[in-house]
Amino acid sequence: MEVLTAGSNADLLIEQSVVFNPNVVVIADVNQYDKVQSALDPLDIKVYTGDAIGEVVSMEQIDIVLTALVGYAGLLPTINAIKAGKDIALANKETLVVAGDIVTALAKEHGVNIYPVDSEHSAIFQCLIGEFHNPVEKLILTASGGPFRGQNEEFLKSVKKSDALKHPNWDMGAKVTIDSATLMNKGLEVIEATWLFGIPAEKIEVLVHPQSIIHSMVQFEDGSIKAQLGLPDMKLPIQFALSYPRRLKSDFPRMNFADYPQLTFEQPDVQTFRNLALAYEALNRGGNVPCILNAANEIAVSEFLKERIGFLEMSDVVETCLSKIPYITSPCYEDYVETDKETRIKAIEIIS
């Protein structure tokens, strides 16, 4: 391992560095630099901070970059890694949500592979292996439904942060967990799937599957459907992205079908959980609109986690920003940067 990075979790970065002994680590939070530096200095590990992550991804020794930064922050490092000819294991869906046109074009230009890490996109990728010559009729992204599946708008008015952070199946960070509860995570995944697999919005269906055993499916033009199944554990899709095309032997827990005698499915409630519909709207409008969607959502989630707005107000913030920020049909990278900045300012104004 050449490089390990972290945002502000210095303790975990130090712990992992001791185990894996990378040549370089980057702690984005400059206030944590001294702590990390002093802890790793005896191990002769180089420590950088701030925006250095955008540069270290270009190091000659690196073969593949696992991009797992949360949110918009993952865009520039991913672009830099692609320009340096590094294959990408993509766990940062916002990179393709914000600037999928630029990222995929750069990957093609530099001969770079993008391997999906999200469990849903990994499932689709696995289902498509050996099928690339067969036209796809539909992608089916499964969703757990989050902790509030089946609840109505009246119930959601009183939801607290602690309630929304209790995901029924997955152990994820706070931002992704809240996105799962609002169904925004699934909306972002729909946009990501469009860019990863070249499938338009009208051919991508979201299906609520509370058990989270079927991670996603592909339906072909002959009507047959392929699905990828497994326990809700991110270790397998991460390993598959890093080892493709090989399947490495693992000691991960195995699924026993007898433990899951019923696998159920239902349509998502897009009237109550409006974020999924807003994501489809952003995808269909194109241009810089998905970037607006993402930036507004990042601010809304942050403010909800600070308990400054309610659960349903997050969708209000996103919807208002979609109507207020100027539309750009064919944005360049600088347009995306400005759109992200402008949207965040507007979102804060709306909340204030």
Q: Let me know the angle formed at the C-alpha of 119 by 115 and 124, rounded to the nearest 5 degrees.
A: 65
The rounded mean pLDDT for the chain is 95
Q: What is the dihedral of CA 100, 103, 104, 107, to 10 degrees?
A: -170
Rounded distance between C-alpha atoms, residue 257 and residue 35, angstroms: 47
Could you tell me if 296 and 343 are in contact, meaning their C-beta atoms sit under 8 angstroms apart?
yes
Q: What is the pLDDT of residue 48?
A: 95
pLDDT tens per residue, range 89-145 = 999 999 999 999 999 999 999 999 999 999 999 999 999 999 989 999 999 999 999
- Write the CA distances from 235 to 170, 180, 210, 242, 248, integer angstroms: 12, 19, 20, 11, 12
Over residues 61-76, mean pLDDT: 90
pLDDT at res. 135 = 96
Task: Check if the beta carbon of residue 127 is closer than 8 Å to that of residue 214.
Answer: no
Tokens for 84? 């340096």
Number of DSSP helices (H) and strands (E) in the chain, helices first: 15, 10
Prediction pTM value: 0.94
Residues 6+ apart with CB under 8 A from 274: 315, 319
Q: Cβ(300)–Cβ(344) under 8 Å?
A: no
What integer pLDDT is reported at residue 51 of this predicted model? 83
Rounded Cα gap, residues 126 and 218, in angstroms = 10
Residue 233 phi/psi, 5° resolution? -145, 125
Q: Specify the amino acid at residue 230.
A: G
| pLDDT at position 167 over 90 | no
According to DSSP, the residues that pair with 1 across neighbouring strands are none
Q: Which residues lie below 8 Å from residue 60, measured CB to CB, with a gap of 6+?
A: none
Measured on CA atoms in the order 77, 78, 79, 84, is the torsion positive or negative? positive
pLDDT given for residue 7 in this prediction: 87
pLDDT value of position 50: 85
> pLDDT tens digit string along 246-296?
999 999 999 999 999 999 999 999 999 999 999 999 999 999 999 999 999
Residue type, 269: D
Q: What is the pLDDT of residue 343?
A: 98
Pairing of strands 136-143, 214-220: antiparallel
pLDDT at 309: 97
Report the C-alpha gap between 273 and 139 in whole angstroms. 21
Q: Are 288 and 321 in contact (CB under 8 A)?
A: no
Give the pLDDT score at 173: 83
Q: Which tokens is 261 given?
A: 């005698």
Range in 10-19, 65-74, 179-188, 264-273 the model is least confident about: 65-74
Full set of structural domains in the chain with CATH: 3-116 (3.40.50.720), 119-273 (no CATH), 286-352 (1.10.1740.10)
Tens of pLDDT, residue by residue over 193-247, are 999 999 999 999 999 999 999 999 999 999 999 999 999 999 999 999 999 999 9
Q: How far is it, in rounded angstroms, from Cα 183 to Cα 203?
A: 19
Tokens, residue 309: 């707005």
Residue 168: the pLDDT is: 78
**Mean pLDDT on 77-83:** 95
User: CB 329: neighbour CB atoms within 10 A?
Assistant: 9
Dihedrals phi, psi of 323, to nearest 5 degrees: -90, -15
Three-state DSSP class for residue 53:
helix
**Region 55-72 average pLDDT:** 89
pLDDT value, residue 54: 82
d(CA 84, CA 105): 14
Distance between CA atoms of 206 and 220, rounded to whole angstroms? 16
The answer to whether the beta carbons of residues 68 and 7 sit under 8 Å apart is no
Least confident of 2-16, 140-154, 165-179: 165-179
pLDDT band with cut points at 50, 70 and 90 for residue 171: confident
